[in-house]
Amino acid sequence: MHGTIGDIKRKKRGPGERIAFAGLLALGVALYVVCLQVADVSFARLWDGLPRLGGWLMRGWPPDLSEIDVLAYRALETVAMGTVGTSFGVLLAVPICLLAAGNVTPSRWLYYPARALLNALRGIDSFIFALILVAAVGLGPFAGVLGLALHAAGSIAKLWAESIEAAEPGPMDAVTMTGASRLKTIRYALVPDVLPSLTSITLYMWEWSVRASTVLGVVGAGGIGQELKNSVDLLQFDRVFTILGLILVMVTAIDMLSAQLRRRLV
Amino acid sequence: MKPLLVAHGLRKSFGARRALSEVSLSLEAGELVAVLGPSGSGKTTLFRCLTRLVEPDAGEVLIEGISIGRLKGAALAAQRRKIGVIFQQFNLVRRLSAIDNVLAGRLAEVPLWRVLLRQFDDKDEARAIQALCDVGLADHIDQRADTLSGGQQQRVAIARALAQQSRIVLADEPVASLDPETAAAVLAVLRGLTRSAGLAVLCTLHQPHLAEQFADRVLVMDNGVLRPQAARETTPAVFSVGEAHT
């Protein structure tokens, strides 16, 4: 039994909720201050270092283009590593994501191990994988390819699995009810539905892999990063400039190409 | 004539709540039977028990004379295949064309490699085209499902059930998401096929006037009890819009 409209009140935030919020905020700020301490942040040191940085910049101009052909080949090697690494990652991600997507996994006993595996692959950066793999398969871009593939497999599988889990269940139910087996149902009702978003994720990971592969040379895993490290070690800043320019051009071109391709999907 | 679908004394409870009590029905070729009832009255549970998606606590279901109660695996799937299901939300694969959606009805019998390549033989394609013609969509064969109107999509779903070559069709609120005119058109298609193809259609509805217009028999589901609609029974109280606020 209600009285008049005036008796209906919205729920108000109580003082307890406000105190709890203030407490959480204070805790957050305290943690951030600790982080600033631990991260050894010192703007004074940045200020002192600025003249040195400026000097290098001056010495780096004009860029040294004498070895542009070698550097361009290294850049190509970087793109190739990113591309092949992503493609191997895709091959690994297909079985993992089918086990790790809740709505298509054949069993809970496979779901959790698959989730654990992809989180492990995703959690370890390709740089770290490459560092270890260089020791196993030797210096050169192949170690980089393997490192990129392992990390990309985890990331792709995770994003794919999420995309598959978001797919509408209705069409799958309907196709299952026609008597189709599980594999046929996945192929016929699920794949056409999610293929555009899976492709888009793959292209995004390809961009990411090319960017990531620019630094793999630092651990001896091939590509333009190796030249970058050599030049910095030898204080050849005019060469560093050329390399940075190449990296920018390469990454921008890949990003634009991938964005174009992704726009065509849907 | 022997009935295509028979249910005897189906009972199902979820905990203390009784969803179905002693439900029996029989469905013959060439008849469209409507089940009326508010949501929560047990209609969906009945449908799920008829295909054993939900295991009934007691009772028996016979599909074309064969009891499915003890069947397992492939034998159960083979009996289920004799039932075509039509859903309220159509449940088409949106990015596939009308004909590809209809061909989904053939998947159980098509070899796996053909499904993986989505390459069907001429016989299956001809059958799918025939099904689309039967539902009046000859002009939309290659159109993507998500570009079809709601009524067209539901007709594709009916064609999918036809391509499955099931003679029993269970339609769960097939017109609840359609406007009144389209709803009548879709039910007219379903009713026409019931006659021409000798289907046995069990169809839940919540508009009594549509049931009266298109069904050969009308059953009423009320709190888990299924009974024939009384002669000249007008809109029962259970269908009135929930109580106005006090």
pLDDT tens string A227-258:
888 888 888 888 888 999 999 999 999 999 99
Look at the block and give the residue holding tokens 């270092």: A49
pLDDT tops 70 at residue A3: no
pLDDT tens string A81-115:
999 999 999 999 999 999 999 888 888 899 999 99
Q: Please give the pLDDT value at position B206.
A: 86
pLDDT tens string B104-123:
999 988 999 999 999 999 99
The answer to whether the beta carbons of residues A174 and B91 sit under 8 Å apart is yes
Q: Please give the pLDDT value at position B238.
A: 46
Give the number of other CB atoms < 10 A from CB of residue B233: 13
The parent domain of residue A195 ranges over 68-264
Which of A186, A188, A265 to mutate against chain B (most B CBs within 10 Å)?
A: A188
Question: Please, where are the H alpha helices in A39-165?
Answer: 43-60, 68-100, 108-123, 126-137, 141-165
First to last CA, chain B: 53
Q: Domain map of chain B by residue range?
A: 95-164
Q: In total, how many domains does chain A have?
A: 1
Please name the amino acid found at residue A15. Answer: P
- Contact between chains at A171 and B94 (C-beta distance less than 8 A): yes
**Residue A140, domain member (yes or no):** yes
**Residue A24, domain member (yes or no):** no
Is residue A170 less than 8 Å (CB to CB) from chain B?
A: yes
Give B84's contacts in chain A (Cβ within 8 Å). Answer: 178
Q: Following CA atoms B25, B28, B32, B33 in sequence, which dihedral angle do they give, to the nearest 10 degrees? A: -10
**Residue A226, domain member (yes or no):** yes
- Contact between chains at A178 and B93 (C-beta distance less than 8 A): no
Q: A-B interface: how many C-beta pairs under 8 angstroms?
A: 72
Is residue A188 less than 8 Å (CB to CB) from chain B?
A: yes
Å from A100 to nearest chain B CA? 21
The answer to whether the beta carbons of residues B83 and B170 sit under 8 Å apart is yes
Give A175's contacts in chain B (Cβ within 8 Å). Answer: 93, 104, 107
Give the number of other CB atoms < 10 A from CB of residue A220: 18
Give the number of other CB atoms < 10 A from CB of residue A192: 17
- Contact between chains at A179 and B89 (C-beta distance less than 8 A): no
Q: Which of A173, A179, A187 sits opposite B108 (nearest CB)?
A: A179
Give chain B's contact residues with A (Cβ, < 8 Å).
51, 77-78, 80-81, 83-85, 87, 89-96, 104-105, 107-108, 110, 112, 115-116, 118, 157, 160, 164, 246
Q: Which two tokens stand for residue A231?
A: 């030049």
pLDDT tops 90 at residue A1: no
| Mean pLDDT score, B143-164 | 93
Burial class of B20 by CB neighbour count within 10 A (0 to 12, 13 to 18, 19+): buried
- SS3 state at B60: strand
Percent of chain A at pLDDT above 70? 98
Nearest chain B alpha carbon to A266 = B95
B48/A255 Cα distance (integer angstroms):
50
Q: How confident is the model at residue A31 (pLDDT cuts 50, 70, 90)?
A: very high
Look at the block and give the residue holding tokens 């196709």: A175
Q: Which two tokens stand for residue A194?
A: 């999610």
**Residue A155, domain member (yes or no):** yes
B104/B195 Cα distance (integer angstroms):
24
pLDDT tens string A124-165:
999 999 989 988 888 888 998 999 999 999 999 999 999 999
In this prediction the ipTM stands at: 0.83
Å from B146 to nearest chain A CA? 11
Å from B168 to nearest chain A CA? 12
Look at the block and give the residue holding tokens 């009702």: A189
Percent of chain B at pLDDT above 90? 60
Give A189's contacts in chain B (Cβ within 8 Å). Answer: 93, 104
Closest CA to A155 of A84, A89, A254, A82: A89
- Angle A141-165/A126-137 helices, nearest 10 degrees? 140
The answer to whether the beta carbons of residues A154 and A120 sit under 8 Å apart is yes
Å from A195 to nearest chain B CA? 10
Provide the mean pLDDT of chain A.
89
Q: Which helix (H) or strand (E) holds B33?
A: strand B31-36
Look at the block and give the residue holding tokens 């860029």: A63
Q: Please give the pLDDT value at position A14.
A: 81
Q: Please give the pLDDT value at position B202.
A: 95
- Contact between chains at A188 and B51 (C-beta distance less than 8 A): no
Q: Which of A178, A184, A196 sits opposite B164 (nearest CB)?
A: A178
A77, β-bridge pairs? none
Positive/negative CA dihedral, B96, B100, B106, B108:
negative
Is residue A56 less than 8 Å (CB to CB) from chain B?
A: no
Lowest mean pLDDT among A158-167, B69-78, B129-138: B69-78
Is residue A180 less than 8 Å (CB to CB) from chain B?
A: yes
Give the number of other CB atoms < 10 A from CB of residue A73: 13
Give the number of other CB atoms < 10 A from CB of residue A135: 12
Q: Please give the pLDDT value at position B240.
A: 43
Which of B48, B82, B93 to mutate against chain A (most A CBs within 10 Å)?
A: B93
What's the CATH code of the domain at A96?
1.10.3720.10
pLDDT tops 80 at residue B101: yes
Buried b (16+ CB within 10 A) or exposed e, B173-197: bbbebbeeebbbbbbebbbebbeee
DSSP character for A190?
Answer: I
Nearest chain B alpha carbon to A196 = B95
- Contact between chains at A178 and B51 (C-beta distance less than 8 A): no
Q: How many residues does chain B have?
A: 246
Q: Which residues in chain A (194-253) have CB-CB distances under 8 A to chain B?
A: 195-196
Ramachandran angles phi, psi of B62, nearest 5°: -115, 125
The answer to whether the beta carbons of residues A212 and A219 sit under 8 Å apart is no
Q: Please give the pLDDT value at position A4.
A: 74
pLDDT tops 80 at residue B94: yes
Burial class of B209 by CB neighbour count within 10 A (0 to 12, 13 to 18, 19+): exposed
Ramachandran angles phi, psi of A176, nearest 5°: -60, -40
Give the number of other CB atoms < 10 A from CB of residue A87: 16
Nearest chain B alpha carbon to A171 = B91
A33/A27 Cα distance (integer angstroms):
10
Is residue A132 less than 8 Å (CB to CB) from chain B?
A: no
pLDDT tops 50 at residue B243: no
